[in-house]
Structure 1
Amino acid sequence: MRITRLLTAIFAAAILLPASATAASAAPLGGYVALGDSYTSGPFIPVQQFDPLGCGRSTANYPSVVAAALHPARFTDVSCAGADTTNMTRPQSVPFNGTNPPQLGALRADTALVTLGIGGNDGGVFGSLISTCPGLRPGDPAGNPCEKHFGGSLTSAIENIGPRVEAVLTAIHERSPAARVLVVGYPRIAPESGYCPDVLPFADGDYAWLNSVEEALNGMLAEAVDADGNAVFVDTFGASRGHDACARGGAAWINGKDQNIFVAAAYHPLKTGMAGMAAAVLTALR
């Protein structure tokens, strides 16, 4: 998701999660390269890296947790907030006069593992939801004003993303023909039932619609993987059931509407969410 306006501060420190001895036994022989957008990079989750700062790349994001478990020969994380499929082959300008090089440039012929988390920024899918839906709730809090506002436009946009993801996968295989490639889906934002407007200020009727948009996005990614035939889809939407933004008692994987520059960006994964996504990736690798 695009968070350019959110990246306005230097970030605080955190501690990496411990490695899993079980997962370490499946360590790839070569390098691990992580590609993706802000749901991969982890903006505001401590500790933030500075290469470049504007990418919001955390040392506690799911690629870092996976790397800590697998101990690859090399670990390269080039994920960046705001990235879409075009930034796999083109440089991306980021805040603070930074530039993230084309992400596929990190791949090598001997790369053994690639994770890819991309698609939500193409067509402005997630950005449109976040910027529009909360503002429509006050006028129709029990209805579905955001669904009415967008109609089927977001679904159409998602359908157009599939071929772009397939093209990215083809390019990954060309650059790293021996690599295991995992496409990591997007975790659940809204609960299956119930509402929490103080955390997720969508109209009540738009909660189910938000879930349907995410399901369509993840379904598109899974279809792109099937069409590719040489990658694996990692379902984090199912894995995050009960860990949506409304979950209480520290169970949430996703931050709500309140921006916290010492914890996580609004509507983005928390550190707990990154740990959960990493667990899903490691399960898929086994």
Structure 2
Amino acid sequence: MHNALPRLRALALTVVAVTAGTLLSSPAHAAAPTGRYVALGDSFTSGPLIPDQVDLNCVRSNRNYPSLVARTAGSTSFSDVSCGGATTGDILNAGKGTLGLPVPAQISAVTAATALVSIGIGGNDIGFSGIVSACAQDGIGNPFGTPCRDRYTSGGTDQLQARIAATAPKVAAVVQAVRTAAPTARIVVVGYPVIVPDSGYGCWPTVPFAFGDVPYLRTVAKSLNAMLARTAAANGADYADAYTPSIGRDVCRGKSVRWVEGVVPENAAAPFHPNAAGEQAMATAVLARLA
């Protein structure tokens, strides 16, 4: 497969040099077709509320990072089956989308002819939306202390670290299923970008996490990404680091700077999800890894 994508890599090197705040678009001279590309994943992949939404049941945008990668790579065919709310189980089994309508198992889109597969999954397996909601509720009334950390470490066990550890074999199973379905495909596991600031204590009350909980949530995010990187490497897949390039683009930054929206989005996106600039940055991370 490494010999099948020479033009993709050459193009990716050019794309990485593009300023991060600019939306990726189709190059003036499109790359040679690189085969079939399939994107699997959850809402950080699908791009909820970013115009244009092309699948309301899966809150999927045509400006999410898979769409940008596909346009730049010049794939002969492209199938984006990412879906908001998806877990590893939804990649391997049929489920339901955000409107409650049936959604086929995402893995069914991967065929033997597939040349590239990106996978963005794991956040919902550890309960992302519930964590954000609980920690925000804990911090609304009082910015001091560590109510969220106390919630998830009561009894002497860090429940979120345990969830991350339990998710690792599930992500491994997804990568292995993709490899079985597409033996020659390049597989890229995509990490999650920064949400809370990479240093300091946040921006209560704009984002109502207690000051002491911000370092804890930062540790959880880094642990999740580290698990994804280890699992990818252990199963013969690449890992695209979306966290490091997004440092300084967190929910506490101004509207024109942030890549992930906060409680009340100022750019078109779902709360605590990447906006269009964030999806562009994730596309750049994937292309950089391919290069």
TM range (shorter): 0.7 to 0.9
Q: Is 1:181 equivalent to 2:183 in the alignment?
A: no
Instruction: Please give the TM-score of this superposition, normalised by the length of structure 2.
Output: 0.86
1:205-229 C-alpha deviation (Å, 9 max, x unpaired): 111111100011001101111211x
**Match of 1:118, as an amino acid?**
I
- Shift in Å at residue 139 of structure 1? 4.0
Amino acid at match of 2:246: S
Distance 1:114 1:28, change over 3 A: farther
Can you give the 5+ residue segments of structure 1 that lack an aligned partner in the other structure?
1-15
Q: What is the aligned partner in structure 2 of residue 163 from structure 1?
A: 169
* Structure 1 counterpart SS, 2:61: coil
Distance 1:96 1:84 in 2: 16
Equivalent in 219, 222, 228 of residue 221 of structure 1 = 228
2:127 pairs with 1:120: no
Distance 1:89 1:137, change over 3 A: same
1:276 and 2:269 matched? no
Query: Shift in Å at residue 28 of structure 1?
Result: 5.6
Contact 2:201 2:215 in 1 (8 A): no
User: CA contact under 8 A between 1:41 and 1:81: conserved in structure 2?
Assistant: yes
Bigger CA drift: 96-105 or 162-171? 96-105
- Runs of 4+ in structure 1 off by over 6 angstroms are none
Q: 2:85–2:98: 8 Å Cα contact kept in structure 1?
A: no
- Write the distance in 1 (CA, Å) between the matches of 2:259 and 2:74: 25
Partner of 1:76: 79
Secondary structure of the structure 2 residue equivalent to 1:55? coil
RMSD over aligned Cα atoms: 1.7
User: What is the match of residue 140 of structure 2?
Assistant: 138
Distance 2:284 2:99 in 1: 33
| 3-state SS of 2:37 partner | strand
| SS of residue matched to 2:49 | coil
2:16 — aligned with what?
A: none
Within 5 Å, which residues of 2 pair with 1:9-158? 17-20=24-27, 25=31, 29-50=34-55, 53-124=56-127, 126-151=128-153, 152-158=158-164
- Per the alignment, residue 252 of structure 1 pairs with 258
**Normalised by the size of structure 1, how large is the TM-score?**
0.88
Contact 1:199 1:245 in 2 (8 A): no
What do the CA deviations read for 1:90-147 (whole angstroms, capped 9, x no partner)? 11212434222100000110100000000001132x1222120111113431221100
Give, in angstroms, the shift of residue 248 of structure 1: 1.9
Q: Deviations over 1:237-266 (max 9, x none)?
A: 111111111122511110100157x81111
CA distance in 1, matches of 2:98, 2:46: 15
Closer/same/farther in 2, CA of residues 135 and 199 from structure 1, 3 Å limit: same
2:218 paired residue number: 211
Residues of 2 paired with 1:127 and 1:268: CA distance? 10
Match of 2:272 among 241, 247, 267: 267
Does structure 2 conserve the Cα–Cα contact (< 8 Å) formed by 1:234 and 1:284? yes
CA distance in 2: counterparts of 1:212 and 1:97, whole angstroms: 33
Percent of aligned positions with the same letter in both sequences? 42
Q: Tell me, yes or no, if structure 1 residue 242 matches structure 2 residue 242.
A: no
* SS of residue paired to 2:208: coil
Q: Are the counterparts in 2 of residues 28 and 112 from structure 1 also a CA contact under 8 Å? A: no
What residue identity is the alignment partner of 1:86?
Answer: G
Distance 2:59 2:38 in 1: 17
5+ residue gaps, structure 2: 1-22
